[in-house]
Structure 1
Amino acid sequence: MQFAVSCHHPTIWSFLRILKREQSLSNVNLNQIFGGHLPEQPKKKYKDCSLRIANTVADFDNRDTMEYLKAIAYNITF
């Protein structure tokens, strides 16, 4: 959220203004999707990460719990 605020200690009013703007953008995106527009495609690195996590989840029964958690954690990067 700080990237949208562009300051370290916003006032409550500027924070509320930013929340309203973000809500408006979300509403526009949802209305475009409902209207038949295709949503933006995620970047390739996010597609690949999602695929790896989906494969790990699908293989849950064949893994030890700690191995499973490590595999999920390895694929989550910020």
Structure 2
Amino acid sequence: MICIHYLTGSKIITALNNEDRTNNHAEAINRMLKSQLGIQHPTIWQFINTIRKLQKGRDLYYEQLIAGNRHPLKLRKYRDTDQRILRLVEDFINREPIDFLRGIAYNYQME
């Protein structure tokens, strides 16, 4: 595990393994589930059948990864954003706290 700590007074900022910054995977599954159901209030059996269908797709994807296929890359805009944030974190000690926070804020898009 690569862990970078930046000390500032009594506070520590940590960056772990350059991993994802959000729970977008969970949000994507939620959107996919809503899309597959196609209705607001499904019956329990509609819900179960949809979950089974989605799980079969995930199982197939997993088997493809096991077979040596690569997972798709993040979109370029997200890779670029990750790099900008990493540069900000690496240069944290040389910045004023408010400038650091403003820099981070510029890299997050609120929907």
Same-fold status (TM-score > 0.5): yes
Q: Which amino acid aligns with 1:11?
A: T
Q: How many residues align?
A: 78
TM-score of the two chains, using structure 1 as the length reference: 0.65
Q: Which has the larger displacement, 55-64 or 31-40?
A: 55-64
Specify which of 55, 61, 75 is matched with residue 108 of structure 2: 75
Distance 1:30 1:61 in 2: 41
**Is 1:39 aligned to residue 71 of structure 2?**
yes
- Superposition CA RMSD, Å: 2.9
Higher helix share: 1
- In structure 1, runs of 5+ residues without a counterpart are none
**Is 1:30 aligned to residue 62 of structure 2?**
yes
Larger radius of gyration: 2
Q: By how many angstroms is 1:31 displaced? A: 0.8
Equivalent position of 1:50 in the other structure = 82
Higher strand share: 2
Over the matched positions of the two proteins, sequence identity in percent amounts to 25
- In structure 2, runs of 5+ residues without a counterpart are 1-32
Q: By how many angstroms is 1:62 displaced? A: 6.3
Distance 2:64 2:43 in 1: 32
Q: Which has the larger displacement, 49-58 or 5-14?
A: 49-58
